[in-house]
Structure 1
C-alpha cells in the first residue's frame, strides 16, 4: 500500500499543480445518516481522511445551523490529526442538511501555519455564503476581472498580510462570482454563468481548473471544469453527494459529474444540472 501511495504521489507531481490542488466532498439531504457521514469522511477507502497524506495543507469540515455557517479547520494533514475525526463525528451527530469537507494542497497564497481557509466565508444580503475550490488559476486574471474598486471595498479576508502575493486564487474566484451575482440582481445562476464565461474568455481550455462548491445555507451550487468530480443521488431519501474522488471501494452508485456543468442542489429535491457553455 505504501508503494502504491508513493507512486501516486510521484504521478501527481508530474501533473500541472492546479490539477491536484484540493479535494472536496459535499452532502445535501434532510436525513443524512450519521454512519454514512463518518464512513464517507473517515473510514471509506478514499475518504478525505485517507487522502490527507496526499493533500496535506490543512482540512476543514463545515455545515449550517439554522442559517449560520459553522466551519472547523485544521492546518495539519487530516490523516494524522485526531481533531479531524472529532470534528466529523461531532457534525455527524447533529445531522445537518448541508455538510461539506475540504482538503487543501496549496498552489497559491500563504501556507505555513495556516488552517485550511476553504471554505471561504462572505456575508451578503442577509445570507452566510461558503465557497470551496478544487483547482487553480493565475491571480492576475482574477484581479483584473474583479477590478481595483471592488477589491478596495471587498478585499480578501484570508492571507492578506502581503497582497497580492499572499492572496489565495480561490478566494479571488469567490469574490469574482459574488460580484457577478450582485451585478445580476442576486440571480445566482446567471451570476455564476457570467463569471465563468469571463474566465473562459481569458483562460485556455487546457488550463481551466475551476471546480467549486458554494452555498448560502439553503442551496448548494457545484460546478465542474478541469478536475474529476462525481455524484450520487438516492431517490428514496433524496440525498445528493458530490465528491472530487469516489470515497467508496465499490463505486457503482456514483456517476461522473458532467464537465462545464453547474448543479443546483437543495434538500429533498432532485439535483438540477445546466451546461454553462
Structure 2
C-alpha cells in the first residue's frame, strides 16, 4: 500500500495510519459507520465491504467464519488495532470464535467487537411488557445469538424472532422506497406481531434495515418502539474507547476515511451513498493472495 494521502473528492485515503476498521459483508455496515463517524469524527477509519461474497446470511457457519476472519486479518494488516464487525451475521457466527480462538494466540494486542452485544445490553430499557421482537436475516435469526445475549442481561424478557429474507435484496437494488416494497415490509412485521401481540419493542437486527424505518413505522401498532443499531453501536464504541485508553491512544486522529471493497469498486460506489448518506469512492482489494 502507498504511504501517502490520495484525495478522493470529499474523502481521503491515508495509508499506514492506525485506523478503526469497520467490516461488513456488503453495504449495510455503512449505516453503522455513518453514525460512528458522526459520533467520533476525529479518528481515522477504514471500511471494508466483502461485496464479492455477499450475502453472508445463507452461508454455513464455517464459511461465514472463514470469510469474516479473512476480512478481519486484512484490516489488521492495514494497521487497525480495533475492528468493528458492523454485520449481524458475522457478529452472530464468527465474532466469538475470533475473540476466543484467534486473538489471544495470534493478535493479543488487537480487538474485535460486534453489533449484537451493544444492542442486548440496552434493549431492556425500551420494553414495558418484557416482550420484544427481533427482525433479521435467516442467518442471524437461526443463530439465536440475540436470544442468548439478551438472556444474559434480561432473563425475564420473552423474545420472538422473524426472518425477513426479501428486505436486503429490496434495499440493495434500491427498491426499498418504492410502493412495491410495502407488501414485504407489512408481511414480515405482521408475521412477527402475530407471534406475540404484546411486543412493544422491535430490534432491527440487520444493518440494512434502518433504510426501511419510515415504512416499518407506518405498519407498527401504536406504542411499539423500533430500535436500529446505528446509534446504539456508535454510542457503545465511544464508551469503549473511553474505558480502554490503551486502544484509543493507538488510533490516529486524522479525520481520514478509506473505503475498500472485494467487489467492483464502481458498483460499490454507486450503491454506497444510499447507506452512507454521502458520496463514496472506494478501491478494489483482493482479500486472498
Question: Shared fold (TM-score greater than 0.5)?
Answer: no
Normalising to structure 2: TM-score of the pair? 0.29
Rg: which structure is higher? 2
Q: Which structure shows the higher helix fraction?
A: 2
Q: Which structure shows the higher strand fraction?
A: 1
- Higher RCO (C-alpha under 8 Å, 6+ residues apart): 2
